[in-house]
Structure 1
């Protein structure tokens, strides 16, 4: 049973934060008010802003002596991230605020593991919350009225959020009795056949979590890896990399593969669907790409075939990340095609482009006892390739 950490700027929102603290305590939880204000100390906080700011790489001065408000908020967010990760008694985190505090607190929340309760009462929670939430289990609560004084509406909204945080801190769900290994698998429509076969091969003794490789899908998988909730990854579909490098709508972040590097868990990967960059409806494809080889996947998704030069960039990005992995790694190249539409008679069949991808990975590969590059003379959606993925997984995850 952990404590409810209530986080906000006491210099401007103390009454509201204090009300949330009282409500959480009345609900039976131990509540701690953490001040992240940058305008001076407040006597009502349980944790002073200076104590949080001291976690910044430059010390408290790196936060509290900033003259630019935006830089001060960013620095405090960095410090709060470290502060919360150091606290071993966090049962839930509740933030209150407007745009500045929402950005500050949710950045720190995103550094916490999936499963630890996180609620943000915010004036911007009814709009696009993707930048605040990302691939994390952050609950956004719209404040309805501004958090600028207590009234009949704000008391109700803040009180509900405080009771919710208290309830989650007091009643942690029991762990599942299912002790099968948890495996993350990445999939796209054009690699579904591969993943379906793989699930049939591995599902009996493992718990399989499939992630749609739409940018946030890969981020969600890696967040679960960082949170210790996946024991291995079979990264069939790395299509988010070309979207990152070439401006597609389903991009990875620069940290793609970072969780595998950090945690060193068993990793089997491939180059599924890197023959394409994803855009929206055909009329939304950037003008610079209008003359390229395009394929309308559906009314809202248009695919662009990657060229040999682009595949060289994709291969270089992937292999330099693979070379940094210190856990057990098998990376498989499907030499007869990387997606359902990269096959003879299909619109993206381009052996020359694929060979550039493969040769770039071969050339950049740094041999090591923990890593093997495996070439399979088969298409990615073939039964032979799915069986090779399963066999290599068994080799390193036994």
Structure 2
């Protein structure tokens, strides 16, 4: 079956590059739906969706946008129109995958278009700033793919063609090969920092599968939490088990290893039932190349690898983290329950391990018990988060919620 790719770009300034990309897609048997998001210039090749269509989708005219006299504001409105049309065109069955080209302006717009599409639709952005810290985690669609546009700022050249030809193959191949999620069984979204630091998923996964659920586990190193929050906010999960809050404490303490400012709010906004625990919230993870903030210079330090390093929190900082968690959970629209493992919250805080800090853990536990009030249910456990007793308590609460009709029951084995 022939697949159609939505190609988004400024067909005035980047017409040569877009024409090359379109040619490579068509040479492999694909079809193209072209969307022009230019403002000042005219498209230098035929397009199916004109810049006037894009502006008109949000009640604007190109002439009105030019009259603003501000490029950034004009392009922000074009972004809104492009995202709206992208979703409409997909809902109408007009394309099977999306690809967009750009520098900072084009990437900004492409991020909105990617977010407008459901998970499972191939989304590729060829960008001169791919992988840059300029791109905030909360701007990214859960399954977006980036390709660095080497030598692509202006004009075609052998480097640029290499990036674009690979991008053409990537998006068309993805559209042909993708198995969109079916969601035949209720899905539980779970977070974890890894299988050595946090081990509960090894016990919970088979038990949840036996109960008839699919389980998606997200790695909480920034991008994983971003995807988790996005999907939780969309109501994709029957229940979430958000047991690794490391990204939240990172964000609140200036680390780039962050899932964005919305961490620990997505399930609450959608009313999704959530089971929460403070896994790995006792350490601050930093990018391997990031300078350690001055106030953490005297803390215990661990270099995990060349990508990530960690320092510890003191007792007062851990109290602040407990309050921050409670504040976010207090706004939840759906059932919310917090598990407090008083024996430890990650593998390296056990007695004899490098992160063992009884005073800090006691301070966190004390503050959590004070702060988790109102609609937030709480269970204090005399065990470690990696102990079987923690998993037993979680499963008991899930079973209770299923029996009460708060969580959809599983639908049999896969």
**Normalising TM by the smaller chain, what interval?**
0.7 to 0.9
Q: Which moved more, 1:270-279 or 1:28-37?
A: 28-37
Q: Which moved more, 1:174-183 or 1:328-337?
A: 174-183
- Taking the aligned partners of 2:156 and 2:269, their CA distance within structure 1 comes to 44
Between Structure 1 and Structure 2, how many residues are aligned? 393
The alpha carbon displacement at 1:216 in A equals 1.7
Question: 3-state DSSP class of the match of 2:199?
Answer: helix
Which one of the candidate residues 135, 144, 154 is aligned to 1:131?
135
Q: Which moved more, 1:185-194 or 1:223-232?
A: 223-232
The alpha carbon displacement at 1:196 in A equals 2.2
Which one of the candidate residues 67, 75, 79 is aligned to 1:77?
79
Partner of 2:282: 275
Partner of 1:31: 32
Partner of 1:326: 333
Matched, 1:315 2:339: no
Matched, 1:342 2:343: no
Q: Which moved more, 1:187-196 or 1:247-256?
A: 187-196
The alpha carbon displacement at 1:97 in A equals 3.2
- Does the 8 Å contact 2:111/2:141 carry over to 1? no
Matched, 1:246 2:247: no
- Does the 8 Å contact 1:53/1:64 carry over to 2? no
**Root mean square deviation, CA, Å:** 3.8
Q: Which moved more, 1:31-40 or 1:60-69?
A: 60-69
Structure 2 unpaired stretches of 5+ = 402-406, 410-414
- Does the 8 Å contact 2:136/2:260 carry over to 1? no
Question: 3-state DSSP class of the match of 2:119?
Answer: coil
Partner of 2:396: 391
Deviations 1:232-279 (CA, angstroms, capped at 9, x unpaired): 321111111111111235223101123213433232111111111123
Partner of 2:200: 194
- Taking the aligned partners of 2:289 and 2:22, their CA distance within structure 1 comes to 51
User: Taking structure 1 as reference, are residues 57 and 271 closer, same or farther at Cα in structure 2, changes over 3 Å only?
Assistant: farther
User: Taking structure 1 as reference, are residues 18 and 144 closer, same or farther at Cα in structure 2, changes over 3 Å only?
Assistant: same
Matched, 1:91 2:92: no
- Does the 8 Å contact 1:56/1:62 carry over to 2? no
The alpha carbon displacement at 1:129 in A equals 8.2
Question: 3-state DSSP class of the match of 1:341?
Answer: helix
- Does the 8 Å contact 1:234/1:268 carry over to 2? yes
The alpha carbon displacement at 1:143 in A equals 4.9
Partner of 1:217: 224
- Does the 8 Å contact 1:56/1:63 carry over to 2? no
Structure 1 unpaired stretches of 5+ = none
Which one of the candidate residues 103, 112, 117 is aligned to 2:117?
112
The alpha carbon displacement at 1:360 in A equals 3.9
Question: 3-state DSSP class of the match of 2:278?
Answer: strand
- Equivalence map 1:161-172=2 (5 Å): 161-162=167-168, 165-166=171-172, 168-169=174-175, 171=176
Deviations 1:126-180 (CA, angstroms, capped at 9, x unpaired): x6488388564333345555375567886786566456545555x4644578844
- Taking the aligned partners of 2:21 and 2:86, their CA distance within structure 1 comes to 19
Which one of the candidate residues 42, 48, 55 is aligned to 2:50?
48
Which one of the candidate residues 373, 376, 384 is aligned to 1:379?
384
Q: TM-score, normalised by structure 1?
A: 0.81
User: Taking structure 1 as reference, are residues 247 and 202 closer, same or farther at Cα in structure 2, changes over 3 Å only?
Assistant: same
- Taking the aligned partners of 2:343 and 2:167, their CA distance within structure 1 comes to 54
Q: TM-score, normalised by structure 2?
A: 0.78
- Taking the aligned partners of 2:166 and 2:302, their CA distance within structure 1 comes to 46
